[in-house]
Structure 1
Amino acid sequence: MSRFVKTIEEVPSASTPKLRTRPVAASLILIGGLIALVFGIALSVSFGAADIKLSIVWEAIFSFNPDVTAHQIIQELRLPRVLGGAMVGACFAVAGAIMQGMTRNPLADSGLLGLNSGAGFALALCFAFFPGLPFMYLIMYSFLGAGIGAGLVYGIGSLARSGLTPVRLVLAGAAVSALLSALSEGVALYFRIGQDLAFWYAGGVAGTKWFQLKIMFPWIAVAIAGAIMLSRSITLLSLGDEIAAGLGQRTRLVKLAGAVIVLVLAGAAVSVVGAVGFVGLIIPHLTRYLVGVDYRWIIPCSAILGSLLMVFADLAARMVNPPYETPVGALIALIGVPFFLYLARKERREL
């Protein structure tokens, strides 16, 4: 496989290779992205079945009056929904960036490599055998399910004599995802919990509550902080294991820490919005194109752009066919599937 992260030049000594980076563009993305994210959140909160003026949104946030119906709609329904979408978008995007950097696989994504379906299968078992389980435990089982899904994919993909290639990894991911999704549907039919799982099948942030965000936020904050701390090591891994080891990196430890972070991010995101794919595939590629190959910039910029994608996709899902909602996962798939086919075709030509 051709190197999907390219080094422009390497210093002849044992120092860190010089990488193609665009710090000015990255800074503009971080600043402009945060401004656009605040605007998108305000816009998404104001639009819906009942349109609410931005001035009322401001009052509901900073001068909440429980006697005003519009304030209650904003505080109890729309604001947690939008903030949940922003958090989940950051989770999927950062998880995808870490996976692509560590594996040097341009097709890596939590949805394509079995993490999302594994977490969904764990949730199906929870609904079937432990109804009424607190949300904290649902997140824990999502982490476990994501780990099982990833383990199956990497195990099956490594069975071939020629080793684990990007295309073989994606094929194993598709097979495992289909198997786990079928098992989830079988559990849903047998135990009659199809309605409970319908939300996770479709993917969306409708119904997100404040208590979910309070439980999920510490996990996500710690995981993203860990990803940023690990970003330099992931940059070196993206150049190849031999180069990273030659520069003093403990590659196995870095990969283990990165895998734990990915499981936390994917598990937390799936427990809230369900099977939303392709965010972790599209955003890291777009970010690398804009800011270069240094993951110290890629990870925070991916978090911002992933949040933007989810917030505006959720807004579009409410505007496509009002007053009904289109699943967010379906809208993102309209972009993600052609992008995936383009990457797969490109990778096949380079093999």
Structure 2
Amino acid sequence: MAAAPTPPSPDTAITVPYRIGWLGILVVGVVIASALSLAIGSRPMDVNRLLQALGPALESLRSGSTGGSDGEIIANLRLPRTMLALAIGAALGVAGAIAQGHTRNPLAEPGLLGISAGAAFAVIVANFAMGSVSTTGTIVAAFVGSCLTAALVFGITSIGGGTKALTLILAGAAVTALMTSLTSALVLSDSRSLDRLRFWTIGSVAGVDLSVATIIAPLLLIGLLAALATAPTLNLLSLGDDVAASLGVNTTAARFLVIGLIAFLAGTATAAAGPISFIGLFVPHLARSFTGPDHRWLLPTAGLVGAIVLTLADVAGRVIVPKGEVEVGVVLAFIGAPFFITIVRRRKLVSG
């Protein structure tokens, strides 16, 4: 019997055909995750029933009809939820990959850096001050909050020079704790706000309206395309500022652009679904195992993996509790927290 072939080493395995193959597999995974999201809920549908409901769902979208038929449930409830889960998962996965590449820190992600918490606090302040804020106003408030929080965290970290991994995480944790406490205080001070925003502050894509999804999803798509365009610059920045500058990169402008992209992606995602942590932490690590560190391949892969993970986490939240639902932010916390601990122990950051 012939001996089994020796598996290729990681360096030789990550070739262009290998990466393209994984991208194809992940695209199929997105389709499967989307189908599961459309089919699973309080009224489950098998494959035949789902296919039969697609035509009535399209008709419901055209006519604007609502009701309890399978097609209307898909059009008015599950389709917006699925669109939002895919877009937010992709946005947070890419934002995490950019943050890790920008800081050269394996623990960097919008949630742990306080950016998501800052965006959430800004949205709560806007709702608290004005009573009700439009979708556009929510997005603007979240973007401003995420930008200010990012500036605060990176400003704290840069005091004394350098951007040490542990200092960045500690600054992010401190700002996250502050913003979360302020958010809770505002929400609890107004019972009307509590009823309206309590699920949002946990992180949820449930109950979203189609009009919201059709605003948020295109915005996130624009942000994702802009992020993909920065991939060559991120590759150069990962070599260090001196090397990047010698190759013609304006490092100051590039870093402001990168931080702005992180804030836009995380802020818009937070405006739509609330602060969702951890997905930007572990998704880039999973994507990197498929593609290596090249951001030209890492960013699209992280987007696809993030879309799949968040959508499947939302589906899992619908079936974990009988006759109930666990918010996607809670499901991801159960996945992300052990991963965070594993990374910390592996990198031995606790020892400095």
Q: Same fold (TM over 0.5)?
A: yes
**Which of these residues, 36, 40, 46, is aligned with residue 39 of structure 2?**
46
| Percent identical | 34
Q: One-letter code of the match for 1:43?
A: L
* 1:155-193 CA-partner distances (Å, limit 9, x unpaired): 22233x364311111111111111111111111122332
Report the alpha carbon displacement of residue 68 of structure 1 after superposing the two structures with TM. Answer: 6.8
Report the alpha carbon displacement of residue 198 of structure 1 after superposing the two structures with TM. Answer: 0.7
Q: How has the CA–CA distance of structure 1 residues 129 and 170 changed in structure 2, closer, same or farther, with 3 Å as cutoff?
A: same
1:71 is aligned to: 71
Whole-Å separation in 2 of the counterparts to 1:293 and 1:149:
27
1:346 is aligned to: 346
Whole-Å separation in 2 of the counterparts to 1:55 and 1:347:
48
1:56 is aligned to: 52
2:251 is aligned to: 251
2:28 is aligned to: 35
1:297 is aligned to: 297
Secondary structure of 1:219's partner? helix
Q: One-letter code of the match for 1:248?
A: G
2:136 is aligned to: 136
Worse overlay, 60-69 or 103-112: 60-69
Whole-Å separation in 1 of the counterparts to 2:204 and 2:114:
19
Q: Over aligned residues, Cα RMSD in angstroms?
A: 2.0
Q: One-letter code of the match for 1:201?
A: T
Q: Check the 8 A contact 1:119/1:145 in 2, yes or no.
A: yes
Report the alpha carbon displacement of residue 196 of structure 1 after superposing the two structures with TM. Answer: 2.1
Q: Normalising by the residue count of structure 2, what TM-score does the alignment of the two structures yield?
A: 0.89
The aligned runs of 1:113-132 (5 Å cut-off) are 113-132=113-132
1:312 is aligned to: 312
Q: Tell me the matched-pair count.
A: 333
Q: How has the CA–CA distance of structure 1 residues 145 and 164 changed in structure 2, closer, same or farther, with 3 Å as cutoff?
A: same
Whole-Å separation in 2 of the counterparts to 1:246 and 1:61:
56
Q: Check the 8 A contact 1:23/1:297 in 2, yes or no.
A: no
1:287 aligns with 2:287: yes
Q: Normalising by the residue count of structure 1, what TM-score does the alignment of the two structures yield?
A: 0.90
Q: Check the 8 A contact 2:109/2:280 in 1, yes or no.
A: yes
Report the alpha carbon displacement of residue 21 of structure 1 after superposing the two structures with TM. Answer: 4.8
1:22 is aligned to: 15
* 1:207-264 CA-partner distances (Å, limit 9, x unpaired): 1111112221332122111111110110111122222122222211211111111111
Report the alpha carbon displacement of residue 194 of structure 1 after superposing the two structures with TM. Answer: 1.7
The aligned runs of 1:136-285 (5 Å cut-off) are 136-159=136-159, 161=160, 163-192=162-191, 193-285=193-285
Q: Check the 8 A contact 1:107/1:170 in 2, yes or no.
A: yes
1:9 is aligned to: none
Structure 2: where are the runs of 5+ without partners?
1-10
Report the alpha carbon displacement of residue 113 of structure 1 after superposing the two structures with TM. Answer: 0.3
Secondary structure of 1:205's partner? coil
Whole-Å separation in 2 of the counterparts to 1:100 and 1:75:
37
Worse overlay, 253-262 or 213-222: 213-222
Whole-Å separation in 2 of the counterparts to 1:88 and 1:72:
24
2:90 is aligned to: 90
Report the alpha carbon displacement of residue 20 of structure 1 after superposing the two structures with TM. Answer: 9.3
Report the alpha carbon displacement of residue 63 of structure 1 after superposing the two structures with TM. Answer: 5.0
Q: Check the 8 A contact 1:278/1:333 in 2, yes or no.
A: yes
Q: One-letter code of the match for 1:46?
A: A
Report the alpha carbon displacement of residue 344 of structure 1 after superposing the two structures with TM. Answer: 1.8
Q: Check the 8 A contact 1:313/1:332 in 2, yes or no.
A: yes
1:4 is aligned to: none
Report the alpha carbon displacement of residue 62 of structure 1 after superposing the two structures with TM. Answer: 4.5
Whole-Å separation in 2 of the counterparts to 1:250 and 1:182:
38
Worse overlay, 273-282 or 187-196: 187-196
Whole-Å separation in 2 of the counterparts to 1:313 and 1:183:
28
